[in-house]
Amino acid sequence: MIQVKGYAAQKASAPLEPYSFQRRQPGEHDVVIDIKYCGICHTDIHQVTDGWGGSVYPMVPGHEITGVVSQIGPKVIRYKVGDKVGVGCFVDSCRKCGPCQRGLEQYCQEGMTTTYNGFERDGKTQTQGGYSTKIVVDENYVLKMPENIPLDRAAPLLCAGITLYSPLSHWKAGPGKKVGIVGLGGLGHIGVKISHALGAEVTVLSHSLAKQDDAKKLGADKFYATSDPQTFANLKGYFDLIINTVSSGIDLNAYLDLLTLDGAMVLVGMPETETSVGAFLLAGARRTLAGSLIGGIRETQDMLDFCSKHNIACDIELIPIQKVNEAYKRILKSDVRYRFVIDANSL
Ligand code: NAP
Ligand code: ZN
Ligand code: ZN
Strand ranges (E), 175-217: 178-182, 201-206
How many residues belong to the chain? 347
Question: 222-225 and 201-206 as β-strands: parallel, antiparallel, unpaired?
Answer: parallel
**Calpha distance 100→122 (Å, rounded):** 18
Ligand 2 centroid to Cα of residue 282, in Å, is: 29
Residue nearest to atom 35 of ligand 1 (CA): 269
- Share above pLDDT 90 across residues of the chain, in percent, rounded to a whole number: 100
Distance 75 CA to ligand 1 centre (A): 40
Domain boundaries, the chain: 2-159+315-346, 161-291
Residue ID of nearest Cα to ligand 1 atom 36 = 269
- 227-279 pLDDT tens trace: 999 999 999 999 999 999 999 999 999 999 999 999 999 999 999 999 899 99
CATH class name, domain 161-291: alpha beta
Low-confidence ranges of the chain (pLDDT < 50): none
At residue 276, the pLDDT reads: 94
Predicted confidence at residue 316, as pLDDT, reads: 98
Q: pLDDT digit string (tens) for 126-147?
A: 999 999 999 999 999 999 999 9
Strand-pair partners of 4: 21
How far, in Å, CA of 291 to CA of 264, rounded? 10
Q: Please, what's the b/e burial string for 160-178 (b: 16 or more CB within 10 A of its CB; e: otherwise)?
A: bbbbbbbbbbebebeeebb
pLDDT at residue 224, rounded to an integer? 98
CA of 193 to the centre of ligand 2 (A): 18
Q: Hey, what CATH topology would domain 2-159+315-346 get?
A: Quinone Oxidoreductase; Chain A, domain 1 (3.90.180)
pTM beyond 0.85, yes or no: yes
Q: What angle do CA 58, 63, 65 make, to 5 degrees?
A: 120
Cα(79) to centroid(ligand 1), Å: 34
**Residue 71 pLDDT:** 98
* Atom 4 in ligand 1: residue holding the nearest Cα: 185
**What distance in Å separates the CA atoms of residue 183 and residue 310, rounded to the nearest whole number?**
23
Longest dimension (CA), the chain: 62
Residue nearest to atom 27 of ligand 1 (CA): 42
